[in-house]
Amino acid sequence: MGEIPSQIKAWTYSEYGKSSEVLKFDEAVPTPVVKDDQVLIKVIAASINPIDYKRLAGFFKDSDSPLPTAPGYDVAGVVVKVGSEVKKFKVGDEVYGDINREALIHPKVIGSLAEYTTAEENLLSHKPHNLTFAEAASLPLTIETAFEGLERAGFSAAKSILVLGGAGGVGTHVIQLAKHVYGASKVAATSSTGKLELLRNLGADLAIDYTVENFEDLPEKFDVVYDTVGITDKAFKAVKEGGKVVTIVPPGFENAIFFILTSDGAILDKLKSYLESGKVKPVLDPKSPFPFSQTVEAFSYLETGRVTGKVVIHPIQSA
């Protein structure tokens, strides 16, 4: 695997603020130390999520890791070193995952926007053989969030679901999991006009253009409404009596199921066969991937709120 350097390149911030002002390229970051239950990953690709720029802005500075820190939750890469207690992986394995167990509580000081990062073995999974590193890096946080919300809502075959924000990072996976993994009786989803075809391709039976119609005015109601955008008050108008509303947008909403993801590699293990068969697919924004040198531009684009699927940064290193 070659020598592991003592210093690495990473994007870091030393103060909170706008990503375009505080994110800096640092060519001399100490390589993170591997704990007994962790592996060291040579990072090939990473993806970014809204939580990354909210963390940069200081939204949860009271529980953040000490500064300076390198952001990034989602990673895909190659194991170059294993801790003494690690059993699931060996050097040379291609892996992916969300490296922070608790998203808001002491995330890693060196995240995935670095040449090397560490992660506990139970947060990772073997990369599906049919996916590129860029595709794999797009998945962990969003697909795990989609799965966790469906589980918490008690979703199952023959139930119907409405996905608010169907073309986003989480929404694209809620549609696919509900349809192709859980066997939903009906999947409806909202997006802007240009993204309706994507929703249908992912498995939506009903694609709703939110610029033209209000989903809450539809006569049809749903067993579950999964709100990825933060309009939970309206979501309750579209749910059946006794149905469930899930939201992932803080601070939550009265009577809704609200959660912050706890990262878990076992979810990725569970979904591996669906990913390898092509039943569930990664969705990368057409502008992806951004090269590592354009990480600031990638953040600025993500912050527009107009992203389809995921923003991926690749290559960070060559495989």
pLDDT score at 318: 85
pLDDT score at 319: 74
Written as one letter, the residue type at 17 is: G
Domains and CATH numbers, the chain: 7-127+284-313 (3.90.180.10), 142-258 (3.40.50.720)
Indicate the pTM of the whole model: 0.98
Q: Is residue 248 within 8 Å of residue 155, measured between CB atoms?
A: no
Q: Is residue 166 within 8 Å of residue 189, measured between CB atoms?
A: yes
Please tell me the distance from the alpha carbon of residue 98 to that of residue 111, in angstroms, as a whole number: 10
Secondary structure, 3-state, the chain: CCCCCCEEEEEEECCCCCHHHHCEEEEEEECCCCCCCEEEEEEEEEEECHHHHHHHCCCCHHHCCCCCEECCCEEEEEEEEECCCCCCCCCCCEEEEECCCECCCCCCCECCCECEEEEEHHHEEECCCCCCHHHHHCCHHHHHHHHHHHHHCCCCCCCEEEEECCCCCCHHHHHHHHHHHCCCCEEEEEECHHHHHHHHHHCCCEEEECCCCCHHHCCCCEEEEEECCCCHHHHHHHEEEEEEEEECCCCCCCCCEECCCECCHHHHHHHHHHHHHCCCCCCECCCCCECHHHHHHHHHHHCCCCCCCEEEECCCCCC
Count of beta carbons in the 10 Å neighbourhood of residue 128: 23
Q: Which residues are CB-contacts of 55 (< 8 A; sequence separation ≥ 6)?
A: 64, 71, 107
pLDDT score at 1: 57
Which tokens in the block code for residue 65?
A: 């890791």
Please tell me the distance from the alpha carbon of residue 135 to that of residue 137, in angstroms, as a whole number: 5
Token look-up 């895909």 returns 76
What tens-digit pLDDT sequence spans the chain (319 residues)?
A: 578 999 999 999 999 999 999 999 999 999 999 999 999 999 999 999 999 999 999 999 999 999 999 999 999 999 999 999 999 999 999 999 999 999 999 999 999 999 999 999 999 999 999 999 999 999 999 999 999 999 999 999 999 999 999 999 999 999 999 999 999 999 999 999 999 999 999 999 999 999 999 999 999 999 999 999 999 999 999 999 999 999 999 999 999 999 999 999 999 999 999 999 999 999 999 999 999 999 999 999 999 999 999 999 999 998 7
Written as one letter, the residue type at 131 is: L
User: What angle, rounded to 10 degrees, do the helices at 140-152 and 265-277 form?
Assistant: 100
Pairing of strands 74-82, 94-98: antiparallel
Please tell me the distance from the alpha carbon of residue 135 to that of residue 138, in angstroms, as a whole number: 5
